[in-house]
Every structure is written in C-alpha cells, then in structure tokens.
Amino acid sequence: MFFRVRFAVLAPVTGNVVSCLKPNKQLHWNLGDRSVMSFSPRSISSSVTHPDLQHSVIFVTVLGFSLALSGCASSAQQPKQPPPPTVEVIEARLGEASIYTEYPAQTYARNRVEVRGRVDGYIEQWLFRPGQHVKAGQPLYVLDLRPYRAALEQAEGNLRQAEADLINAEKQTSLLQAEANLAAAQAALVRARQDYERLKPLVEQDAAARQDLDAAVAALRSAESNVKANEAAVAQARLNTETQIQSAQGRVQTQRAAVQTARLNLEYGTIVAPISGMVGDTLIPVGGLVTANSSQPLTTIVPLDPIWVRFKLSEAQYLELRKRAGGVEKGKTMLELLLADGTALPNRGTIENTLNQVDPTTGTLEVQARFPNPDHRVLPGQFGRVRFEIDKRKDVILVPQRAVQQNQNLQTVFVVGAGDKIEARPVRTGPRVGEEWIIEHGLNPGDRVVVEGLLTVRPGITVRAIPYQGQNQRTSQAQAE
C-alpha cells in the first residue's frame, strides 16, 4: 500500500520553547486511494474512507507530529562563530647586521708524520695507546736491545785498542836511534876531515908519509858516505813514524765513529715520537719484526694544535673578494670555523697561504688557514664551513627566514595591520644573516610580521597577535609541561 503525507511546518523559537505548529495550520496525509487524514495542534480530525486504514490512524498521527517537532528543533539551532586564530609576531626594527660569506672547508694535519724504525729488531714493548696525545721525544716502542749493547761494547774495545796503538806510534825509538847514528857519523866525518887537513901540509913538506895521507883521504870519504847514509836512515825513520802515528790516529777516529754508531743504534732501539700530536694505532704488534727499509710505518702522528683548514674559492668569488676594501689579507683576516653540528670553534683563525694558481680542472683557488686548537676538539679530516665578515650594514630590518613566503620569484610576508587584520606584503630580501633575512624593501619599522601560525592565516582575516616566543623558548615550555 502506498500513501503520501503532506504537512506544513512553521518554526519560531522563543527561549527554550520550540513552537512550530500554529492552531490554524493542519497536517495532511494523502493516501494512495485519495483518502485524506489531517490534524491540527488543537484538534486532530481524521477522515478515513478506506476501511483497512482505520486501525493505523493513531500511529500515523503521532508519527507525523513527532517529525514536525523534530524538524522545528533542528531548524532552530544556529552555528557559533570560531575564535580568531592566534599568531606570533615580531615588530620590525632598524638595526645593524654583519654580512658573512661561508665556504665549505675540510681540516687537515699539515705536518703528519709516519713513525718508522731506524734499525732492525723485534718489538719487546709497546708504550702507547691509539688516540693518545704524545709529546716529542716520548718513547713509543722498545726493540730487543741486547745485540746493540754487545755491538757498543765491541766498538768501545776496538777504540781503546786503537788509542793504545796511537800512543805506541807516537813513542817510536827507531827515529831516535837513526838520529843518534847520524850524529855519530857526523862526528866521525869531522874527525876524518881534521886528520886529512893535518896530514896534507906535512906530506907536502915531506914531513909525513904519503901513505898516511892516502889513508886520511879514504877515511874522509868513508865518513862523508856514512853521514849521508845516516841522514837517509833518519828521514826514513821519521817518515815511518809519522805514517804509523797518522795510521793510528785514523784507526782511533774510525773506532770512535764505530762507537758513536753503535751508541746511536742502541738509542734507535727505543723508538720515540718525532713530533707532538695524536698517535694512531700500531701496525706492528709486540713481537713483530721492525726493519729499517720497510715500506710500512709503525704508526702515524698528527699534530692537532694548530689545526689547518683548506677551502676553495671560485674565480668569481676570488675576484669579488679582491674588489672589497682590504680583500683577504694573509695573517689579518679573521676566520670562524663552523663544525658539522653547527657549533663554532671558540678560537678564530687566520689565512696563512694561498696556492699560486687556479686549478684548471675545477676553476677554484685553494686557500689554507690555521686555527688554534688547544683542547684538541677538531681532528684532521673533519668537514665544516669557514666564514668571515665581508660587510657591515646599518639601519636595516631583519626578519626570521621562516616569516618569508617564497612563491616562484615573489617573496611575501604576512603583516598584522589595523584592526588585527592580515595583510600580504611583497618584499625584496637581501643577504642572509644567520637565520634571518635582511629586508631591503617592503617593510617599515613598527610593522608586526607574522612568524608562527602562517598556515592558519590569509589576507583579510582577523587574528589574535602575541609576541614571537622563538623555537628555543617554545621547546623549553614543552619540556616543562
């Protein structure tokens, strides 16, 4: 069975009372066979001509009246206005700003040293731990020293023997004996000459025999020859003595050098740090063989104070820095090193060297700087950023970077204007200063710039503006809660 219900509803609301139905208004249900049932708030009259529907009149009447009241109640409810969104703002003010330029950089150890053995031997002691800071001259390894002690004692014995030979050579008697023989020959020659000179006038006067004169002449010739022979013997003895002395002196010097070499080898048996710095891990364990001509080092030492940093400038950057007042001066331009975690090294550094040409493969010029590193905080090989001040501006407006909206080539900020209504301002930004932008155009001192709550605002809406708390303060409040 199909039927149609038709009714009219009026819904005025007074207080908590809902009145939709007026006395003169009726609700009508049209049944499929054109039978009609109607009622009003005052009286309900129904006329049902179909005999099968008489038992449903009361149910349909109550149902219709309930639907009517329900419709009136829903139509009486009105939506509430949401509160204005809350935004955090900063007030634009004029101030000073230092302009910095930054370059990727990497630290390195300029005087890195490989520790090697100077003598052969087996390691008996390992006297350091990897990563330990060592000083120059501090022992690192001790080899088996027994062979070198024995070699030193042998060299010292040879030296004493050579010194004794030198003393013996200096006190040779052969030269003295030759000189004595020469003196005796010279005396005999004088006597023979005197005999000859005494007999010669006597023989001429026939006062002496001619035979005696001949004997005197023969003795004189013999004495002269003897003197020459002894002179030659003295010269030979002197030469032999000098040769022996020089030879002994040479042996003494040789043995002294051998002693010094043996002493050095004994010292080299204890391998010490050549420079101060941080030592690496050992590459040869205790009991391993160390050879003087090995290609593998025992360990490495890198100096950490100062620490060196290299960074590269492009050709355009180099020329731009050259144009600025002062440029980049060696030993005068103060640099700041920013580490990978964003923190800055407390000590500032200076530029020490620049290479003499631009790398043709990369088009960059390498610059080397030195930073004090007394607490050994920075290690070689770390990456970071080097920055230094290139300009200082006065009377500029700074706003946080998060306040600037970027839409292709258009940059805008939201400003809380009169009546706490949002305005969109196009701006032109300048260099970046930390986490802020320099606003070169578009803002005036005193403008309230929206920093937080940007996703909830649009131009023209009313907002509730509160001072910007900052990320650090907000994090602290969240942790406290």
pLDDT of residue 77: 55
Q: Supply 471's token pair.
A: 């990320």
pLDDT of residue 104: 92
Select the more confidently predicted residue: 79 or 153. 153
Select the more confidently predicted residue: 190 or 19. 190
27-31 sheet: strands from edge to edge: 3-7, 27-31, 36-39, 44-47
Q: Please, which contacts does 411-416 make with residues 24 or more away whose CB atoms are closer than 8 Å?
A: 413/439, 413/442, 413/443, 413/449, 413/450, 414/87, 414/449, 414/450, 414/454, 414/457, 414/459, 415/443, 415/447, 415/448, 415/449, 415/450, 416/87, 416/89, 416/448, 416/450, 416/463, 416/465
15 half-sphere exposure, CB direction, 13 A CA radius: 2
- Write the pLDDT tens digit of every residue in 75-117: 445 567 788 899 999 998 888 888 888 889 999 988 889 999 9
pLDDT of residue 354: 80
Q: DSSP assignment, residue 50? A: -
For the chain, what is the mean pLDDT?
A: 79
Token pair 């002449």 in the structure block, residue: 217
User: Can 113-144+270-302 and 146-268 be said to share one CATH topology?
Assistant: no
Whether 289 shows a pLDDT value over 90: the answer reads yes
The fold adopted by the segment(s) 307-480 is: 2.40.420
pLDDT of residue 100: 80
Residue 340's φ and ψ, nearest 5 degrees, are -65, -30
CA pair distance 261, 119, nearest whole angstrom: 11
Assign 255 a pLDDT band (cuts: 50, 70, 90).
very high
Q: Please, which contacts does 36-43 make with residues 24 or more away whose CB atoms are closer than 8 Å?
A: 37/61, 39/64, 39/65
Give this prediction's pTM.
0.56
pLDDT of residue 3: 42
pLDDT of residue 21: 42
Q: Which CATH number applies to 146-268: 3.40.50.720, 1.50.10.10, 3.30.70.260, 1.10.287.620?
A: 1.10.287.620
Extents of the domains making up the chain: 3-76, 113-144+270-302, 146-268, 307-480
Over residues 399-425, the mean pLDDT reads 89
Whether 396 shows a pLDDT value over 80: the answer reads yes
Query: CB count, 10 Å around CB of 245?
Result: 18
Whether 65 shows a pLDDT value over 90: the answer reads no
The CATH number of the domain covering residues in 113-144+270-302: 2.40.50.100
Over residues 465-478, the mean pLDDT reads 65
Alpha helix (H) residue ranges in 269-335: 315-323
Q: Supply 372's token pair.
A: 């004090």
Assign 329 a pLDDT band (cuts: 50, 70, 90).
low
Query: CB count, 10 Å around CB of 380?
Result: 17
pLDDT of residue 327: 54
pLDDT of residue 145: 94
Q: Please, which contacts does 94-98 make with residues 24 or more away whose CB atoms are closer than 8 Å?
A: 94/395, 94/396, 94/397, 94/445, 95/395, 95/396, 95/397, 95/398, 96/392, 96/393, 96/394, 96/395, 96/396, 97/392, 97/393, 97/396, 97/398, 97/433, 97/438, 98/389, 98/391, 98/392, 98/433
Identify the CA nearest to 287 among candidates 143, 114, 140, 139: 143
Whether 128 shows a pLDDT value over 80: the answer reads yes
Select the more confidently predicted residue: 232 or 67. 232
H or E, element range at 3: strand 3-7
Select the more confidently predicted residue: 288 or 390. 288
Identify the CA nearest to 397 among candidates 355, 429, 352: 429
